[in-house]
């Protein structure tokens, strides 16, 4: 019995020894070497709030390669009684340095891997968004614990990410201040000049002449082996929030703007908007209905203003402290680096937080210096919420005035400060408020530098209506419908609209793909949304463009409304004649007179100011 027990103990000992050797062999097979400069690189820096910048801890499997006095691993961290960790964010581009399951998760510490190349490029924008989201979630849920952030040495990638987080969590901080905060906590800070330049570029700031990139630390230069910063590296493309190249390439309404954000963050913002507006919807934006002869009666019953209908791309925009988010018709979010200061208050300087705008992205074309140029602009035409408070129930006239006073004017005022460190011209697009005219001035709507396709009639006293708004009217030069196009196995065309969340085949409908730019094989458009106009003579739908901004066709109700308008055939001449009659009604005569007088008073007051 004793011999059997001793034999069992020997087998266990041999098994453990074999396991240890296999582990070491496995690491050697992965070409394990101590990263250049790691031995003499300081282990970690001072806390930056709840964030600890660090070099990568090396697993105990590296102990044979590391002198005992220079070992740095998670076991040593836990047994030394240091700060209590709740999360480790690993920015290295390899998995060979330690085992997160056994060394971290087994000890109740969360682990997030964000692969970032250490060579030739800075971390991409999507990785930055992921990092900021993970740190923000941790801060909200584990306020009594710390997050350790590491790359290989804890300087360039680690500093880059932490500076990004500081800029987003403390919006009045400048890049210069954030860099200084990191370098104080983890000397010498970021020492790669392209990382520093990328931060100034991303946040649209002028880099002061006094900002000088530190030299490479001595511990990194001292070793003879020439190995770069990391890690079996694969370069990622750098995508910066800079619009300087916009005039070089031809801009399109189909261009994808902004950067992806983590799925969890998108879900949080969707819920935030629904809770803030006390609704439960996918996309909450208001949709106009086509102007039929029947709907013309609304212009007589309510007081309307008018503006042009731009042929652009519909976006809502959520302004938050940590960034701005374009929200498309699919209720998907993409982050853009923009700045929206609140109305100036010297005692309490703030930026907008949970303000929801509605508008459209257009491309202006103009001549400058004898050459044709383009510029992307966001035309804001409505305000749905401001700093967490819904204004949807207020009349449109109030919402528009709040929008101009509290959102647009503070931006424009700050632009006039010549010595301000922020460069608005570096933003990915401009922002303007969309003007609305008195109904009597419809013929005076100016010619524009971007494409238009009709008119929008907005009730001046109306609340914001989520979804289809039967009081918000659109008149188009050419009425169109967005169909889902498909073909059956016999090659017959099929056009679908949407009914109660499901697609409905429109029997007898067909489309012709006419003109240049269309593929000779219609099957290439199967599964796509095709915007079509109606050819009255041939009684067939004609393709105009593929709607890359939409994944669903128009609803059956919209289809019925458009077809009714096509039959009503309200031409420009008919519409203008009707408007002349409407604006002679007593209600319009009185309110137009009062609105004109008020506009003159405001104009005079602005001149005096």
Catalytic residue positions?
151, 309
Instruction: Pick the closest to residue 79 from 107, 44, 51 (CA basis).
Output: 107
> Helices (DSSP H) in 121-174: which residue ranges?
125-141, 156-169
Asked if 325 and 261 touch (Cβ cutoff 8 Å), the reply is yes
| Lookup result for tokens 């983590």 | 262
* CA dist 97 → 33, 58, 368 (Å): 10, 5, 55
Contacts of 506 (CB under 8 A, 6+ apart): 483, 495, 496, 497, 559
Distance of CA 466 to the CA centre of its chain: 22
Element (H, E) at 149: strand 146-150
Q: Contacts for 484-490 with beta carbons within 8 Å, 24 or more apart?
A: 484/527, 484/528, 484/529, 484/530, 484/552, 484/553, 485/511, 485/522, 485/525, 485/526, 485/527, 485/528, 485/529, 485/530, 486/526, 486/527, 487/522, 487/523, 487/526
User: Which sign, positive or negative, has the C-alpha torsion 266, 269, 275, 277?
Assistant: negative
Q: How many CA atoms lie within 13 A of 143 on its CB side?
A: 1
- Could you give the CA distance from residue 112 to residue 135 in angstroms, rounded to a whole number? 10
- Could you give the CA distance from residue 425 to residue 591 in angstroms, rounded to a whole number? 39
- Could you give the CA distance from residue 166 to residue 146 in angstroms, rounded to a whole number? 15
Please, what is the Cα angle at 542 between 536 and 544, to 5 degrees? Answer: 130
Q: Residue 324 corresponds to which tokens in the numbers above?
A: 């701005």
Order of strands across the sheet that contains 467-476? 286-290, 467-476, 452-459, 304-310, 437-438
Instruction: Pick the closest to residue 66 from 92, 35, 28, 96 (CA basis).
Output: 35
Element (H, E) at 582: helix 572-582
- Could you give the CA distance from residue 609 to residue 596 in angstroms, rounded to a whole number? 20
Q: Which residues are annotated as a binding site for GTP?
A: 314, 329, 358-360, 474-476, 545-550
User: For 566-590, b where at least 16 C-beta lie within 10 A, e where not — what string?
Assistant: bebebeeeebeebbeebbeeeebee
Q: Residue 75 corresponds to which tokens in the numbers above?
A: 């076991």
Q: Which residues are annotated as a binding site?
A: 314, 329, 358-360, 474-476, 545-550
| Lookup result for tokens 């005035």 | 401
Q: Residue 103 corresponds to which tokens in the numbers above?
A: 């060394």
As beta bridge partners, residue 290 has 474
Asked if 380 and 433 touch (Cβ cutoff 8 Å), the reply is yes
- Could you give the CA distance from residue 365 to residue 234 in angstroms, rounded to a whole number? 39
- Could you give the CA distance from residue 519 to residue 305 in angstroms, rounded to a whole number? 42
Bond from prior residue into 517 cis (ω within 30 degrees of 0)? no
């Amino acid at each position: 019995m004793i011999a059997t027990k001793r034999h069992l103990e020997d087998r266990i000992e041999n098994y453990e020894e074999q396991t240890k050797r296999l582990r070491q062999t496995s690491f050697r097979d992965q070409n394990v070497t101590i990263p250049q400069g790691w031995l003499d690189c300081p282990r970690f820096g001072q806390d930056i709030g709840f964030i600890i910048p660090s070099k990568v801890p090396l697993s105990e499997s590296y102990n044979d390669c590391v002198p005992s006095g220079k070992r740095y691993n998670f076991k040593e961290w836990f047994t030394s009684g240091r700060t209590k960790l709740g999360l480790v964010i690993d920015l290295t581009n390899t998995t060979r340095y330690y085992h997160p399951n056994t060394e971290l998760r087994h000890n109740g510490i969360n682990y997030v891997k964000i692969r970032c190349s250490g060579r030739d490029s800075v971390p991409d924008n999507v990785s930055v968004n992921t990092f900021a989201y993970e740190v923000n979630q941790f801060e909200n849920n584990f306020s009594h614990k710390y997050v350790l952030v590491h790359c290989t040495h804890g300087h360039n990638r680690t500093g880059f990410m932490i500076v990004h987080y500081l800029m987003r969590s403390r919006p009045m901080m400048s890049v210069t201040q954030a860099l200084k905060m990191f370098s104080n906590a983890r000397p010498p800070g970021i020492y790669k000049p392209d990382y520093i330049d990328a931060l100034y570029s991303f946040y649209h700031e002028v880099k002061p002449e006094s900002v000088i990139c530190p030299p490479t630390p001595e511990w990194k230069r001292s070793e003879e082996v020439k190995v770069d910063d990391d890690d079996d590296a694969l370069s990622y493309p750098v995508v910066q929030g800079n619009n300087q190249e916009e005039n070089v390439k031809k801009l399109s309404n189909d261009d994808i703007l902004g950067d992806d954000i983590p799925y969890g963050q998108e879900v949080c913002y969707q819920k935030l908007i629904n809770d803030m507006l006390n609704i439960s919807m996918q996309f909450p934006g208001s949709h106009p209905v086509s102007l039929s002869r029947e709907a013309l009666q609304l212009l007589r019953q309510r007081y309307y203003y008018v503006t042009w209908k731009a042929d652009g791309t519909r976006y809502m925009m959520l302004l938050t402290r940590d960034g701005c988010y374009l929200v498309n018709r699919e209720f998907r979010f993409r982050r853009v680096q923009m700045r929206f200061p609140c109305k100036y208050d010297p005692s309490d300087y703030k930026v907008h937080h949970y303000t929801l705008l509605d508008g459209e992205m257009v491309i202006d074309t103009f001549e400058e210096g004898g050459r044709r140029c383009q510029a992307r602009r966001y035309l804001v035409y409505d305000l749905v919420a401001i700093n967490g408070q819904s204004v949807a129930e207020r009349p449109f006239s109030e919402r528009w005035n709040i929008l101009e006073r509290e959102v647009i004017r503070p931006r424009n005022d700050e632009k006039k400060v010549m010595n301000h460190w922020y460069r608005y011209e570096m933003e990915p697009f401009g922002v303007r408020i969309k003007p609305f005219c008195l109904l009597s001035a419809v013929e005076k709507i100016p010619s524009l530098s971007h494409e238009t396709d009709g008119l929008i009639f907005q009730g001046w006293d109306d609340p914001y209506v989520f979804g289809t708004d039967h009081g918000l009217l659109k008149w188009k030069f050419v009425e169109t419908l967005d169909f889902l196009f498909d073909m059956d196995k016999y090659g017959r065309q099929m056009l679908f609209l949407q009914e109660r969340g499901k697609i409905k085949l429109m029997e007898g409908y067909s489309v012709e793909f006419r003109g240049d730019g269309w593929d000779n094989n219609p099957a290439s458009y199967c599964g796509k949304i095709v915007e079509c106009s109606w050819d009255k003579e041939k009684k067939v739908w004609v393709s105009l463009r593929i709607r890359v901004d939409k994944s669903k066709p128009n609803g059956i109700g919209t289809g019925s409304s458009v077809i009714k308008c096509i039959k009503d055939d309200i031409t420009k001449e008919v519409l203008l004649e009707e408007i002349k009659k409407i604006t002679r009604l007593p209600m319009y005569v009185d309110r137009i007179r009062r609105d004109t007088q008020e506009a003159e008073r405001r104009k005079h007051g602005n001149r005096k100011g």
